Amino acid sequence: MSQLLLDEHVSRICEHVLRDRGFDVSQAKDRFGEYTTDEELLQWCDRNDVVLVSNNARDFELLHRKTDHAGLLIYYDQSLPDDDPEGFARTVEEVFEQYGAEELRDEYVEIDTWYEWLQD
């Protein structure tokens, strides 16, 4: 079972849909509170083989280049997980099927691109 840590902007609905699809999911704000830095999140994910899902592309794009991590799934359209949680979860599932959990290590995957591709 693949483990995901959802950054603060990923909705509870999306969390439940991902869990229903078999992912081991937790929210960063539940696990760490509200004052954990992005770098600390990424380092924790690396140590625990947990893929991070976030829409904080600006910060994580830079961190991804200098910090080892278990994988980053980034989305730019902040409303995507709320507007279509099933489609979002299907997209995450497809990313894992195509990459495999081990191959996601140190990868920066743009979920929006995959989502659009799957909608065609």
Residue 49's pLDDT band (boundaries 50, 70, 90)? very high
Contact 89, 39 (CB under 8 A): no
Contact 114, 94 (CB under 8 A): yes
CA gyration radius for the chain? 13
**3-class DSSP state for residue 32?**
helix
Question: What one-character-per-residue DSSP string does 33-85 give?
Answer: -S---HHHHHHHHHHHT-EEEES-HHHHHHHHHHS--S-EEE-S-TTHHHH-H
Domains of the chain: 3-119 (3.40.50)
pLDDT in tens, 70-112: 999 999 998 999 999 999 999 999 999 999 888 999 999 999 9
**3-class DSSP state for residue 4?**
strand
**3-class DSSP state for residue 5?**
strand
Greater model confidence, 87 or 61: 87
Mean pLDDT, rounded, for 35-61: 91
Mean pLDDT, rounded, for 48-65: 90
Contact 6, 25 (CB under 8 A): yes
User: What 8-state DSSP symbol labels residue 101?
Assistant: T
